[in-house]
Amino acid sequence: MRFLLIALLISSTMAFAQKNIPIPLEEGVSWELAQWRSQNLSAIVYDLNLHIPLAKTDPITGMVNIAFELKNKTQDLLLDFKPGKTWAGQLSINGKKLKGNHAQGHFVLPAKHLKLGKNAVQLTFEANNQSLNRSADYLYTLVVPDRASTVFPCFDQPNLKARYTLHLDIPADWEAMGNGPLDNSTEKAGRKQLHFKTTEAFSTYVFAFCAGKFQKATETRNGRSLTMLYRETDQAKVQRNLVDIFDLHAHAIAWMEEYTGIKLPFAKLDFALMPGFQYGGMEHIGAIFYREASLMLDENATENQKLGRASLIAHETAHMWFGDLVTMNWFNDVWLKEVFANFMAAKIVNPSFPKINHELRFLLAHQPSAYSEDRSEGSHPIQQELENLKNAGSLYGGIIYQKAPVVMRQLEAMMGEEQMRKGLQEYVRTYSYGNATWDQLISILDKYCPKDLAEWSQVWVKEAGMPRFALEQVGNGQGLEKLIVRQEKTSASGKYWPEQTQLALFYPDSVALFPVEIAGEKTEINAVKGYPFPLASLLLASPQSYGFCRLDMRSLTYFLKQTPKIADPLLRGAARMALMEEFLHEAMPPSTLLESILEALPAEQEPLNRQQLLDQLQTIYWRFADPELRLSSKAKIEELLWDLLLSAKDASARLTYFSAYQSMAETWPAVQRLNRLWNKSLSITGLTLSESQRIDLACAIALRWPQRADSILTQQLAEITNPDRVQRLNFIRPVFAADQAQRDAFFNSLKKEENRDYEPWVEDALGYLNHPRRPNAEKLHYVLPALELLEEIQRTGDIFFPRRWISAVLGGQNSAEASAAVRQFLAKSPNFPYRLRNKVLMAADLLFRAAKMRKDSGNKGGEPQNLTELEAAIKAELARVEGTFYVAFRDLQNPVQAVFINEKISIHPASTMKTPVLVEVFKQANQGKFKLSDSIVLKNEFKSIVDGSPYSLSEGDDSDLPWYQRMGQKVSIYDLARAMIVRSSNLATNMLIELVGAENTTQTMRDLGLQDIMVRRGVEDSKAYAAGLNNSATAYDLMLLMERIGRGEAGRPVDCQEMIKILSDQEFNDVIPTCLPADVQIAHKTGWITQHHHDSALIISPEGRYFSFTILSKGWTNETAANEAMGKVVEMAYRYFSKK
């Protein structure tokens, strides 16, 4: 079965070619067209001449000679070309001039003029500016995935590799770079003619050249000459970065050559830096293009920014082997080249940055971003179907760039590092200068792995979504027996996700880690046997972990409060990530997570975790906080960030806190601080801002101070020395206008294709236009037209990532109206392209969630919607009365559903200690020490545990007086046990404690795993009381005791059932039963002493669900009010739990 998909693909392709089914003439390159051409064309060579004028407005003209061999001429051949206007050039085929038939983005080359074997086609043309990225004095091509045919006529598909000979005619004072080495150049009449050598074979999407007023640097590393073109005018900045840039490229080349066993597969590796480049980098063969700011770092660059640059260079260099030498057959496997570039980049650069926690960096760089798409309604598989290359741009996103690397780490973990390397070496050797599919790779790797990789691949690569887990604890009085991982069926096929992860169990002074291999619906973790019950547990606690595992309430509470105390930065980061996922799944309100982040920030010293906290803080504040929460917290946040900025001990932390402060400043004093920093009337020791950072600061102030925006930006423009940065600020300047009409006019200008030339600038401008601090009335009207433009944007390709366009608009929207607008647009557009629909759903995910949370909060009518709200409601109710309360509520069938308040604080248990005595009585009866039907003589004289002196009970302090009339008579042990519980008889209690022993009772509690129940003595031992020798218990352990009874674990199941029967006959019902429905069975034990009132219960619903509720209280002065409050919170919890 493993090779079935490959066999079917090959079979269908061959059949298609043999049948010669006519290829429909349509826009783009369809899968059918691509398959036919790949079967029938070979030996393609392009000889391309381009004339590039000085003026941006003048057209670029060219001529291309195309040589190829043809295997089948039974139908016309389509040659791809998408001119900017009607084609008016010349065409000749095999030396014969013809009238060109151009339609739907193709030249139709008549079969009658073609020959089997070698053919030659020549065309003159005018290039389309769409992919030429022309500025006043420079240009560069960016033709991925199917836009080489906008520059020149070609067979524009990845599995038709060709060789290229490029000739450029450019202004004499310009520099240029192409895929091949420069062969020769001449100058004449103010023009320069450059002739590049013929290249090795590669796909059209990595064809590239750039030309313009660049500066040039050439260095030699390891005997290889490397050249860099750049635009940066700050020479100090250039010199500060230049050596590192060349060294990093040389190191990456050497490492890849050693790892793959194949020398750099192309004649050269040069690179050019563009100010407004759309991506971090693009792996053009021999001419990598980068965004200039990604490589030319500021003087105050952090270690993580330096690592980011090194990773980017390594990523693009690795593409020379993975993507360029071996190329995916079709763009449905575009993720394959990206994942291996990421995979290799980490191996290349990580050893050079020992100060950085690379495991943590991997986790935070991948999972949060991948989850943002995978948890959305627009989730899709890593490998996506693609019918036509014109839609390939919509394949890109976080699932390709962030989820796939996690999956690759899972793959390496299964195979082993060395076996993985051997498999990849075979893959690269086998398909050098050719194309391969993911299934072909898997067929190779399968030979090096004992597991069925095809089965694994089917879920992880070809299914949408991600796994969802639940973690159950199974144990007894000795501790854990095992943990059970239960997995939901979330894949469309119904298959379960196999996964290798790490489990972390948190204890007061340590963390226990366990490798876990999840397989199927249920996975048992037996390695935990003998470990105590943990304070918290975290299933997905490794960089290769992926999915969502709901935290139980105990873990959720622990991580919210105790995460700063976790010593391991990786576990802290994973716990914080889990908290954010819990929040997004509505486990708590925004205020709870926001407060937790603010508490954690001052203690966090790991830069990566610090940045995660700040990112989460900004997400919660800007996307989810309602006006009331923002109003109440903004000053507190600003002052905390300012204090952390001033006290930061290193430049990295200082810049990080400054960026966060700049982003979150809202109050007038905070904006004035920013303004004083910008106008240099205020300075911060150790904080130096680069020109780009000062521009960002000016924009932040202009956004918040629109009345001064024009003067601020005018002054800032006057200070800028770099012309490209001047151009960018002039472009986005209108979005800061105080006049709404000016901002609207700018947005409307983006409806014209020519105004979307610089993708990063457009995205920045949209972000400012739709900033969260803008009132809804100023931005809501941008949502619908932005959505309506998506199809055109995909068609024109000026915004390569459609997701970024719509994210820039929706990222600042936080209203229910905006959420509804998106929903309505999608509902009214049933034919909207499904990939774009997915991008919209991804971009709108946080908007949808925020709107739902606010709706639920506003319409809940006082009903808590999640556990955190339930806890808050309980605390609020109890706070209405004087006293201290101790709460432990839990659902036995779903232990995640729980609420704890002061649950671990020991207090006097009053008569709730009688339940442990009941358990001990049944235990000893079962051991044969006596029978429950046995009788003992009733007495009222007992010995103090202090000195053995006698004492007796007062009838007036006992709630069951009839027993005192039977002194000297025999009564059964069962009747005493029942009286001890049902009527809370102190006399019966002391008789039974004397019979079974207080110390035995305590030991039984320990055997049941209850560490905090202590039964020292009977009732009214005044000497013991004076000596401080009192019984004690916690709400948590009393809750556990009721759970043990309910589960049949506190003795024989039949005995536990009898105990439930006795507890259900309780006659004192002034706390837990007061507000519960009459048809609910309540097996409970109350307790009362001065200013103490308790109740501990096993609650059984009419449907047979079991809940364990314990609530203790002390220190109140109004007993009635305290009882009413406790009854109400029990009702809240029962109503909430019974609905889950």
pLDDT tens sequence across 258-314: 999 999 999 999 999 999 898 899 999 999 999 999 999 998 888 889 999 999 999
Arithmetic mean of pLDDT, 953-964: 80
Q: What is the pLDDT of residues 183-201, one digit of tens each?
A: 999 999 999 999 999 999 9
Arithmetic mean of pLDDT, 438-467: 93
pLDDT at 205: 97
pLDDT class of 635 with cuts at 50, 70, 90: confident
Q: What is the pTM of this model?
A: 0.74
Q: Quote the DSSP letter at residue 550.
A: P
Q: What is the pLDDT of residues 825-840, one digit of tens each?
A: 999 999 999 999 999 9
Q: In which region does residue 812 sit, left (phi positive, over 0), alpha (psi from -120 to 50) or beta (all else)?
A: alpha
pLDDT at 10: 39
pLDDT at 18: 46
Looking up tokens 């563009």 gives 274
Instruction: Identify the H or E element spanning 222.
Output: none
Q: Quote the DSSP letter at residue 910.
A: G
Arithmetic mean of pLDDT, 791-808: 87
Looking up tokens 């899709």 gives 380
pLDDT averaged over every residue in the chain: 92
What one-letter code names the amino acid at 59? P
Arithmetic mean of pLDDT, 631-655: 92
Q: What is the pLDDT of residues 481-538, one digit of tens each?
A: 999 999 998 888 889 999 999 999 999 999 999 999 999 999 999 999 999 999 999 9
The residue among 208, 221, 226, 333 whose CA lies nearest residue 279 is 208
Residue 1 burial by CB count (10 A; 0-12/13-18/19+): exposed, middle or buried? exposed
Strands 182-188 and 215-221: unpaired
Domain 339-460 class in CATH: mainly alpha
Looking up tokens 């798409």 gives 373
Instruction: Establish how many alpha carbons lie within 13 A of residue 560's alpha carbon, considering only the half-sphere containing its beta carbon.
Output: 21
User: Residue 49 pairs with which residues in a beta bridge?
Assistant: 63, 167
The percent of residues in the chain predicted with pLDDT above 90, rounded, is: 79
Backbone angles phi, psi at 86, to 5 degrees: -55, 130
CA 248, chain centre distance (Å): 29
Arithmetic mean of pLDDT, 91-115: 94
Helices (H), 945-1034: 973-982, 986-996, 998-1007, 1022-1026
Backbone angles phi, psi at 864, to 5 degrees: -60, 140
pLDDT class of 403 with cuts at 50, 70, 90: very high
Q: What is the pLDDT of residues 539-581, one digit of tens each?
A: 999 999 999 999 998 999 999 999 999 999 999 999 999 999 9
Helices (H), 828-887: 834-843, 845-859, 867-878
CA 157, chain centre distance (Å): 33
Quote the Cα angle for 242-247-253, to 5°. Answer: 135
Check whether 843 has a pLDDT greater than 80: yes
pLDDT at 797: 77
The percent of residues in the chain predicted with pLDDT above 70, rounded, is: 97
DSSP for 776-820 reads GGGTGGGHHHHHHTHHHHHHH-SSS-HHHHHHHHHTT--SHHHHH
| 8 Å CB contact between 366 and 358 | no
pLDDT class of 223 with cuts at 50, 70, 90: very high
| 8 Å CB contact between 1109 and 1099 | yes
pLDDT at 19: 53
State the architecture of 1-156 in CATH terms: Sandwich (2.60)
How many C-beta neighbours within 10 Å does residue 959 have?
14
pLDDT at 20: 64
What tokens does 619 get? 């997400």
Q: Tell me which of 787-801, 807-821, 983-997, 1048-1062 is least confident.
A: 787-801
CA distances from 748 to 135, 762, 792, 1007 (A): 22, 12, 14, 73
| 8 Å CB contact between 1108 and 892 | yes
Q: Does domain 860-907+1034-1140 have CATH number 3.10.180.10?
A: no
d(CA 1006, CA 405): 47
d(CA 906, CA 762): 61
pLDDT at 809: 96
The residue among 76, 80, 65 whose CA lies nearest residue 155 is 80
pLDDT at 11: 42
Q: What is the pLDDT of residues 133-142, one digit of tens each?
A: 999 999 999 9
pLDDT class of 856 with cuts at 50, 70, 90: low
Check whether 859 has a pLDDT greater than 70: no
Secondary structure (3-state) at 976: helix
pLDDT at 3: 32
Angle between helices 1053-1064 and 914-926 (to 10 degrees): 140
Arithmetic mean of pLDDT, 116-127: 97
What tokens does 937 get? 């003589």
pLDDT at 14: 43
How many C-beta neighbours within 10 Å does residue 1054 have?
11
Arithmetic mean of pLDDT, 725-731: 96
Q: What is the pLDDT of residues 1110-1140, one digit of tens each?
A: 999 999 988 888 988 898 899 889 988 887 7
How many C-beta neighbours within 10 Å does residue 55 have?
9
CA 1007, chain centre distance (Å): 42
CA 628, chain centre distance (Å): 28
Superfamily (CATH H level) for 930-1029: DD-peptidase/beta-lactamase superfamily (3.40.710.10)
Angle between helices 334-349 and 303-318 (to 10 degrees): 130
d(CA 378, CA 845): 9
The residue among 1037 and 1020 whose pLDDT is bigger is 1037
Instruction: Identify the H or E element spanning 555.
Output: helix 553-562
